[in-house]
A and B are shown apart, each in its own frame.
Chain A
Amino acid sequence: MATEAAPMDEKAKRMRDLLSSFYAPDPSISTSGSSISASFDNINSTSFDADQYMDLMIKKSNLEVLLQRHVQMAAEIKNLDTDLQMLVYENYNKFISATDTIKRMKSNIFGMEGNMDQLLQKIMSVQSRSDGVNTSLFEKREHIEKLHRTRNLLRKVQFIYDLPARLQKCIKSETYGDAVRFYIGAMPILKVYGDTSFQDCRRASEEAIEIIIKNLQTKLFSDSESIQARAEAAVLLKQLDVPVDSLKDKLLEKLEQSLDGLQIKPEEASLLAEQNDSSNDAESNEQHPAKIHEDAVRGFSEAMRAYREIFPDSEERLFKLARALTAMHFENMDLYIRKRVSAADFLRIFRIIWEDVVLMDEVLPEAELSDLSAEAAQVTVKKFVARTFSHLEQDISDTILKFDINQKEAVEEEVLKVVLEASKKAGLQGTTDIFQDFRQLLDENIGIFVKMKDLIIGWIQNGFQDFFRSLEAQFLVLSGKTSSSKEIEGGLVEGKSSDKIHAGLILVLAQLSVFVEQKVIPRVSEEIAASFSGGNSQAFENGPAFIPGELCRVFHAASEKLLQHYIDTRTQKISVLLRKRFKTPNWVKHKEPREVHMYVDMFLHELEEVGKEVKQVLPQGTFRKHKRTDSNGSNTTTSSRSNTLHNDKMTRSNSQRARSQLFETHLAKLFKQKVEIFTKVEFTQESVVTTTVKLCLKSLQEYVRLQTFNRSGFQQIQLDIQFLKAPLKETVEDEAAIDFLLDEVIVAASERCLDVIPLEPPILDKLIQAKLAKSKEHNNNNNTVSS
């Protein structure tokens, strides 16, 4: 029936579809035409109203369309009628065939019941037979089972009785594994009956086991045994419930003690590094320390491997041990590089340590030794870089200071020059060495260094930046310029020397700063660009890496500051001299000038010293040099002429001044081009000397202005200044300014004079000549004494 139902269904469905295309009974189709007019139009919709539809049609359409519509509808209706007839016929046919099938089924079902009864009877008889067999065999089987149990029991008893002998045999053949297995097998029985029936057996076997345990322990402790054997021994011991932990502790303690031997002590480290070099050729005579160390570490790692296998639960402690060794290595390294260590030595030691770490890492990969040591290595390398820089700084300041001390002992001519050259060299050489060292670091291909390359570059760049900064600070401290900050930092540095710093040293420092600015920093930046570039930037969020521009600026400022400081200290010295000169005598009651005053000599002497120092340290001004040699060449003629000329002018102007000096000077100033007294100091010999002279003359003028002179006092000043003229002009590049300043001194003196009558030129000349002769004689005397 089911087979027929399916096509029936299908057919019905098709018919239904067809019908529904005409009547559209289901709402899904009717809703598609949702508007009111559409529902009127739609014949298929449920709410179709024929009258309304007719009205609409009549209203909307003309006759022709209505007729057409009529014909079309009539045709459709006819079609539907025939379709319906067809459906009725088909369904009737199916109904008849279904009735036929039911009739056939009814006839076939008779006779089935009898067959079923027969089958039941047969199965019943089979069951009763099998029950009979089962009962007849039951008794025999019971018996067999009992026999079997007895046999097993007997075998066990036999085994227990045999146990001591067997154990002895095992001891003899050293098959401790079997022995332990036997013993453990017998254990439950021995435990239950050990006190009664098997007393002897138990005692004997326990004795045997004692021996076995002892043997196993010795085996475990003996280093000669293979690791496998020792591990087995450990396992067996554990099976025998021997407290293994105490054994383990003992072993590990021993291992820990051996750590001490593995340390690279800072004292030995250098030995280790050096011998590594020399022993390449002399390897035969003795094992060099590095080799010994390597063997020791290898042994250590082997032992660790063994213990790890023997005591799997001891990993933590082994890790701890390995980490301790690594940490110790790096600590020692840290101590080692506290001293001055070359990069090569550093690397050698580092390599040894790294090898150790690698060895241990192989054994204990879980200990994360490589991470640990990478961190430690970073710290160490960073420290090494920092130390190298501080050593360099120390070197440079040592060079400077060393010579300073010598200077006091042996007053040589060119000490400053020597100092300058030495420290220049120290600077250059130092940086070159540092670069070499660092290049070695970078070239090193130990895994960790490769990883750290970027970091190292960063450190180096940062290091240079910091180095130059602190060098500049160091310079300032050495020059005594920033003594105050030093005192705050801690008086232990050398707070006392701030006053005693030699002026020349300041000059050297100034020139050194220039040197650093112009030579060292560009070179360093070149080197960095060449081989240390590309330090990753993310490492320096806080501070930027090497910035040569900034450093140059810093050093430029420092050099200017130092040069100014030098001039200051020098002029200060002369100023004290002048102050004493002007404070002591009573100028209003001055006696007639007899000779050029002493202070002029001292003044010139100081200038000479400045000149000497400057000559040693600073370069000559290239541009001005020509002019100066020219004027020197014709010195004898022109200077004498200008002198006489000037004297003429002096007398004339002095007589005028007697009347109204102030007006005259004001007028003169109006017409004279304003002489730039205070120009910028340059790094040339001439510039520094000139500036010093200018400042001193200005001071002289100021001192004069503070006094009141009588005629003789004025004449004394006149004489002194006149005498100063020639030697000053010789030493100084800017003659106009010097002339101006010297004149200013005389003008100041005349303004402050109660009774201005200058010395007659002949007398002036005579006194000067006398002085010159005297000083020449003095010089000659000196020369003869010295020669």
Chain B
Amino acid sequence: MQGGSSGIGYGLKYQARCISDVKADTDYTSFLTGTLSLKEENEVHLLRLSSGGSELICEGLFSHPNEIWDLASCPFDQRIFSTVFSTGESFGAAIWQIPELYGQLNSPQLERVASLDALVGKINCVLWWPSGRCDKLISMDEQNIFLWNLDCSKKSAEVISKDSAGMLHSLSGGAWNPHDVNAVAATGESSVQFWDLRTMKKVNSIEHAHVRGVDYNPKREHILITAEDESGIHVWDLRKAKVPVQELPGHTHWTWAVKCNPEYDGLILSAGTDSAVNLWYASASSSDEKPSQSPVESIRQRVNPLLNSYTDYEDSVYGLAWSSREPWVFASLSYDGRVVIESVKPFLPRI
């Protein structure tokens, strides 16, 4: 895998949108992914990168009752994960536990730990606190944001608090600030909004339309990255949220997802509907950059931030996840159900 440019592939049976890094698995680099099929039996795949890093092994295959729109692995228990699913007409979200019987591939049933069924609208995502043990969960539907208290032993989840964003804002996704357990960012129709979970009130917002994906920079406080439909990727400094700190061209069509590398500061991965995954290096993502330069100069000085473009996909890429165990490895998932694991090691020396 080292030096190899082509990644390791793995095919799901059906179309799929979401892939998640299993953060709690410290022994292996593993990913969870779930299929999106209206009519067929949906599956959750637990994939593990072989120790040599040359093979992607299906470690577990579990059937899931509905098509999966969002999937997130619990950061402190590798057997627990959350899904957002749809029956076609209604949406739901649940916390699942992978049964103990590892190795049996005959679609054992997942144990439902709890279902987050206070939701009314079209649910979008479930967020776990990004690092460490925190038994709180956030779920978002189009109008509301909920904070849940999860009790794994009792297999129950309770709503602690909720807030409504209002009809107009139709939330679509979000990210939990890794630097501040009380701050959550949510993407809406026309803005990125920030909640303080203690008061459950909106505290701030970036007015920027059509944001698809959002991610906090885990290495630097106040730095947020957004992916937009038409206008690419923006890097924001939340202390000065009027104007983006940096602008990356993004993709030919929409930029769907964007992820900061958990280890290497400034390394950004974006997935787009132009069937490509781009690796960026946003060198000057800090606020130190002087805006006084004339545009001509800054264009000339700035080196091309695009490190590489992975284009070996047949369809739009929606799923994207860095491995937290091997931070130079990422998994991408295109709509046709193909998981591709790539290493960015060849590009690291340039940083």
Contacts and interface: CB of A to CB of B under 8 A. Distances in A.
Interface of A: 469-470, 472-473, 476, 482, 484-485, 487-488, 554, 557, 568, 571-572, 575, 579, 583, 588, 662, 666, 669, 674, 677-678, 695, 698-699, 702, 705, 708, 751-754
B294 A473 contact: yes
Interface residues of B, number: 30
Interface string B206-221: 0000100000000000
Contact of B38 (A473, A554, A677, A753): A753
Nearest to A677: B274
Contacts of A677: 274
Interface string B7-25: 0000000110000000000
B295 A482 contact: yes
Given A487-B243, A752-B38, A568 B291 contact: no
Given A571-B230, A583-B170, A678-B253, A708 B296 contact: no
A666 B252 contact: no
Nearest to B294: A473
B88 A572 contact: no
A473 B336 CA distance: 43
B169 to A, nearest CB: 12
Contact of A568 (B231, B244, B335, B336): B231
B88 A754 contact: yes
B35 to A, nearest CB: 11
B291 A485 contact: yes
Contacts of B86: 708
Specify which of B38, B243, B295 lies most central, judged by the most chain A CB atoms within 10 Å of its CB: B295
B8 to A, nearest CB: 20
B29 interface: no
B342 interface: no
Contacts of B170: 583
B83 interface: no
B292 A488 contact: yes
B316 interface: yes
Nearest to B242: A487
Contact of A473 (B252, B254, B295): B295
Contacts of A662: 14-15, 37
B314 interface: yes
Closest 8 CB pairs of A and B: A678-B252, A488-B291, A484-B243, A572-B230, A708-B88, A588-B89, A698-B253, A482-B295
A557 B230 CA distance: 19
B339 to A, nearest CB: 15
B273 interface: yes
Contacts of A488: 243, 291-292
Contacts of A568: 230-231
B229 interface: yes
Given A568-B231, A751-B15, A708 B295 contact: no
14 contacts: A473-B295, A473-B296, A476-B295, A485-B295, A487-B243, A557-B299, A588-B89, A662-B14, A666-B336, A702-B253, A705-B335, A753-B38, A754-B38, A754-B88
A699 B254 contact: yes
B15 A588 contact: no
Nearest to B276: A678
A469 B253 contact: no
Contacts of A571: 230
Contacts of A754: 38-39, 88
B229 A575 contact: yes
Nearest to B90: A588
Contacts of B39: 754
Contacts of B273: 698, 702
A388 to B, nearest CB: 21
A275 B252 CA distance: 62
Contacts of B295: 473, 476, 482, 485
A488 B336 CA distance: 45
Given A557-B299, A751-B15, 15 more contacts: A472-B296, A473-B294, A476-B295, A571-B230, A572-B230, A572-B231, A575-B210, A666-B336, A669-B336, A677-B274, A698-B273, A698-B274, A699-B254, A708-B86, A753-B38
A92 B38 CA distance: 158
B296 A469 contact: yes
Interface string B225-266: 000011100000000000110000000111000000000000
A357 B146 CA distance: 83
A375 to B, nearest CB: 29
B177 to A, nearest CB: 24
A669 B296 CA distance: 44
B205 to A, nearest CB: 18
B230 A678 contact: no
Contacts of A751: 15, 38
Interface in B275-311: 291-292, 294-296, 299
A699 B254 CA distance: 8
A44 B39 CA distance: 139
Interface string B78-115: 00000000101100000000000000000000000000
Contacts of A695: 252-253
A575 B210 CA distance: 10
A699 B296 contact: no
Contacts of B292: 488
Contacts of B210: 575, 579
Nearest to B11: A666
A685 to B, nearest CB: 20
Specify which of B170, B231, B253 lies most central, judged by the most chain A CB atoms within 10 Å of its CB: B253
B51 to A, nearest CB: 32
A28 B295 CA distance: 91
A702 B316 contact: yes
Nearest to A691: B252
Contacts of A708: 38, 86, 88-89
Contacts of B38: 708, 751-754
Given A571-B230, A588-B89, A662-B14, A484 B244 contact: yes
Contacts of B296: 469-470, 472-473, 554
Nearest to A694: B253
A699 B88 contact: no
Nearest to A660: B40
A776 B243 CA distance: 47
A572 B254 CA distance: 11
A674 B296 CA distance: 38
Interface in B33-88: 37-39, 86, 88
A487 B295 CA distance: 12
Nearest to B91: A708
B228 to A, nearest CB: 10
Nearest to B300: A554
Contacts of A698: 253, 273-274
Contacts of A583: 170
B137 to A, nearest CB: 24
Contacts of B316: 702, 705
Nearest to B172: A706
Contacts of B314: 669, 674
Contacts of A476: 295
Contacts of B231: 568, 572
Contacts of A666: 336
A53 B162 CA distance: 137
B87 to A, nearest CB: 9
A583 B210 CA distance: 13
B129 to A, nearest CB: 27
A297 to B, nearest CB: 44
A469 B335 CA distance: 44
A97 B294 CA distance: 116
Contacts of B254: 699, 702
B203 to A, nearest CB: 24
Contacts of A579: 210
A472 B231 CA distance: 21
Nearest to B37: A662
B294 A678 contact: no
Nearest to A661: B39
A129 B316 CA distance: 149
Given A678-B274, A702-B273, A753-B38, A575 B88 contact: no
